[in-house]
Amino acid sequence: MERITLHDKSFVPYIPYEKIMSSIDAVADKINADFKDTDEIPVLLCVLNGSIMFTSEIMKRLEFDCELVSTRLSSYTGTSSSGNVKQALGLTADISGKTVIVIEDIVDTGNTIVELDHILKEKGAKDIRMCTMLLKPDVYDKDIRLDYVAMEIDNSFIVGFGLDYNQLGRNYKDIYILEK
């Protein structure tokens, strides 16, 4: 792992792949404990694009039947949230009457999950669980319960493992932080 440059900014190594894998192991264990012995067939909701790698890692570890649905929301431009969340792609399948486990890459202000919660309730979800790879606890100020959190980080801008800076950086298998 070494420093990378994306557009006009430099990023330095922050969370190595091995650490990402072990925290996903731990969070998948919790999801398995909650669903393995139930008759429920939950829907995993992959929030594109950032959550694509995390969703696949979670799915590989689940030991119960589940479905996969995707959607795409966007609020971030550059390195900060615009506060204005737009649904760029509707849900790819019907989720009414189903338990939905939202799989997010990162929860920052929480605006995105508030909007998702609203959309899922409107579409008739039976139950909604929130799972995120990363949480910025110093920034998150919403009331929605975060059921499964793999890692907590400081309030800084990161890329890699699905996360982007203006669409670049998603392909790195480690996570990098904006260089000060």
- Could you give the residue numbers annotated as active site? 108
CA distance 3 to 16: 13
Q: What are the beta bridge partners of residue 87?
A: 73
For the bound state, the minimum distance from the C-beta of residue 170 to ligand IMP, rounded and expressed in Å, comes to 9
Q: Is residue 50 within the footprint of Mg ion (CB under 5 A)?
A: yes
CA quadruple 172, 59, 134, 110: dihedral sign:
positive
For the bound state, the minimum distance from the C-beta of residue 50 to Mg ion, rounded and expressed in Å, comes to 4
State the virtual CA torsion across 65, 173, 11, 167 in degrees, nearest 10.
-60
DSSP 10-57: EEEEEE-HHHHHHHHHHHHHHHHHHHTTSS--PEEEEEETTTHHHHHH
Binding partner of residue 160 among ligand IMP, Mg ion, none, CB cut-off 5 to 8 Å per kind:
none
- In the bound state with ligand IMP, the residue whose beta carbon lies nearer, of 104 and 117, is 104
- In the bound state with ligand IMP, the residue whose beta carbon lies nearer, of 42 and 50, is 50
Q: Is residue 172 within the footprint of ligand IMP (CB under 6 A)?
A: no
- In the bound state with ligand IMP, the residue whose beta carbon lies nearer, of 22 and 155, is 155
Interaction with ligand IMP in 91-120: which residues (CB under 6 A)?
A: 104-112
Query: Under DSSP, is residue 137 helix (H, G, I), strand (E, B) or coil?
Result: coil
Element (H, E) at 70: strand 67-77
Q: Which residues of 77-116 are buried (b: 16+ CB within 10 A; e: fewer)?
A: eeeebeeebeeeeebeeebeebbbbbbbbbbbbbbbbebb
Q: Is residue 17 within the footprint of ligand IMP (CB under 6 A)?
A: no
For the bound state, the minimum distance from the C-beta of residue 9 to Mg ion, rounded and expressed in Å, comes to 15
Binding partner of residue 132 among ligand IMP, Mg ion, none, CB cut-off 5 to 8 Å per kind:
none
**Window contacting ligand IMP (CB under 6 A); options: 33-41, 58-66, 75-83, 93-101:** 75-83
| Residues lying near ligand IMP in the complex (CB under 6 A) | 50, 75-76, 81, 104-112, 157-159, 163-164
